[in-house]
Amino acid sequence: MPLPKNRSRSVRKIFRRVPKRGTVVHYKRRKKGKKHHCAICKSSLQAVHSSSFLPSSQKAPNRKFGGQLCTKCASRVIVIRNRLKEGLIKLEEVEIKYLPYVRHGV
């Protein structure tokens, strides 16, 4: 008889052939992914999924920095990039936490 936690139908049964004993049942539970978070401010990202059965087009939003930065930080990086391109600020004036994302586009 299996353990009570393995009697549920949500637990997948995997039958393995073993020498001498015939077959053995392995129980496998569904793994949940962790919440994704913003790389700059560490707040949780919305509309980002880590489940393996979704196609990649539905796992993260299709916009700049989708799945990496929250909307507030992404818009801040875009503003800083534009100011750098126009020459209103210099690269030395940009905060350190924004540098990896600002350098990529400049």
pLDDT cut 90: percent of the chain above it? 61
- pLDDT tops 90 at residue 83: yes
Confidence tier at 94 by pLDDT (50, 70, 90): very high
- pLDDT tops 70 at residue 78: yes
- DSSP for 44-104 reads BPSS----TTS-GGGTS-SSTTTTTS-HHHHHHHHHHHHHHHHTSS-GGGS-GGGHHHHHH
Backbone phi, psi, residue 99, to 5°: -55, -45
Contact 65, 101 (CB under 8 A): yes
Residue with tokens 């916009």: 63
Nearest to 81 by CA among 62, 97, 99: 99
What would the pLDDT profile of 40-61 be if each residue is shown by its tens digit? Answer: 999 999 888 877 778 888 888 8
pLDDT cut 70: percent of the chain above it? 97
Predicted pLDDT at 106 = 54
Tokens of 7: 């009697």
Q: What is the mean pLDDT of residues 13-27?
A: 93
Instruction: Give the C-alpha separation, 40 to 68, whole Å.
Output: 9
Confidence tier at 105 by pLDDT (50, 70, 90): low
As a whole number, the mean pLDDT across the chain is 89
Distances, alpha carbon 100 to alpha carbons 30, 33, 53, 68, 80, in Å: 35, 26, 31, 12, 12
